[in-house]
Structure 1
Amino acid sequence: MKTKLIAALAIAGTATIAFAKENPMVGGAPMLDTKTIAENASAAPNLTTLVAAVTEAGLAETLMGPGPYTVFAPTNDAFGMISKASIEKLMMPENKQQLQQILTCHVVATEAFSTDIAGMISDDGGMHVVPTVGGCNLEAYMEGGELKLKDENGRIATVTTADVDQSNGVVHVIDRVLLPSGQAG
């Protein structure tokens, strides 16, 4: 009996190790699946502009909530593709609603890992429409083995780090800020 129990524990321990998956680092910072999207983003040095914008827009508390959410998180370099004057203008209190819409166009009200998204793309014949919390419709597709998102203005973002598991959802880091229809950046 004791031998069977030890063998069962050894097999269970092996199975756990086989399925354990480490979260990717973001900007060199460890991302912990026990922390919320807002907490982990705050630790990533390449997401400081996003964190500042989320804070200014009053969305940090939402991204600390239960979710689940999928967030397509633009890096500092992605925000750098937008003029400094435009960013400063968006961060003004009188433009809070516009900033909220832009940021929520990066959020989906469900948890979708890259395999889920790839499956939806495949099921839909090569392109899947992703409705966001901000009312935008992003087009997800695969190109050259990379997950891409196109906004309503034709701007294309590539997922550079996928499947960053969080306690309240998942983050996919992207290389471009996506904008609602009619907004240029």
Structure 2
Amino acid sequence: MTTRSMIHTAALSAAAIALPISLGFLAPSAHATDSEPFGSACSSVPKEGAGSLDGMAKDPVATAASNNPALSTLVTAVKKAGLVDTLNNAKDITVFAPTNDAFKKIPKADLNKVLADKEQLTKLLTYHVVGDKVAPSQLSMGSFKTMEGSKLTTDGSGESYKVNDTSNIVCGNVKTANATVYIIDSVLMPPK
């Protein structure tokens, strides 16, 4: 073997070793898995009891949400729309669940008007529900048909995802007995 070919072989070997190492530095440090909840607001979910992540996993989605203090406005809306049984009896659905703070972003007069109109409220709430189970791995550039009939979109990577480019998923992949829940920081508005 000539000196030149030995140098070439050594350089290729070094590159082969360095490539996986350098690619490791480019990989995101945190990423959502299809089995674990993710997001900054997951730490504010109660640690134990019915409203905890483990507790919510035992109940169907509307009941589970009623045990989570951050979702009380959503639960009130679901009850007013008469959707508790519909959501609790559905199989393998996905719910994009706005927090109480998300509802506070809507002017009080507008929110009261929607809460008083069962048809409009039902349309709004069913726009937050997808009839299939959506895993975190599907959120990057996703498009999903809602129970309301329109589509919503998701985009992002790692643990940072948006819904319809307007709402952040703040605690995602929360399991209930019949649904996957993504807690979001803004109420989604169905297309007109």
Q: Same fold (TM over 0.5)?
A: yes
- The answer to whether structure 1 residue 169 and structure 2 residue 169 are counterparts is no
CA contact (8 A) 1:75 1:173 kept: yes
TM-score w.r.t. structure 1 length?
A: 0.73
Report how far residue 128 of structure 1 moved.
2.3
Rounded Cα–Cα distance in structure 2 between residues aligned with 1:26 and 1:136: 31
Give the superposed CA RMSD: 2.2
Q: Give the counterpart of 1:41 among 65, 80, 88.
A: 65
- The one-letter code matched in structure 2 to 1:96 is K
- Distance in 1, Cα, partners of 2:86 & 2:107: 27
User: SS where residue 52 of structure 2 aligns?
Assistant: coil
Name the count of aligned residue pairs.
149
Distance 2:83 2:180 in 1: 16
**Percent same amino acid at aligned positions?**
34
> Residues of 2 paired with 1:22 and 1:149: CA distance?
17
Greater mean deviation of Cα atoms: 62-71 or 21-30:
21-30
Among 162, 166, 185, the alignment partner of 1:148 is 162
Q: 1:106 aligns with which of 128, 136, 140?
A: 128
Match of 1:96 in 2: 118
Give unpaired runs (5+ residues) of structure 2: 1-34
After the TM superposition, which of the residue ranges 135-144 and 29-38 deviates more from structure 2?
135-144
8 Å CA contact 1:26–1:161 kept in 2: the answer is: no
What is the TM-score when the length of structure 2 is the normalising length?
0.71
Could you say which residue in structure 1 is the equivalent of 2:146?
A: 132
- The 1:101–1:81 alpha-carbon spacing in structure 2 relative to 1, beyond 3 Å, is same
Gaps of 5+ in 1: 1-19, 122-126
User: Matches of 1:98 and 1:21 in 2, distance apart?
Assistant: 34
Q: Shift in Å at residue 143 of structure 1?
A: 5.8
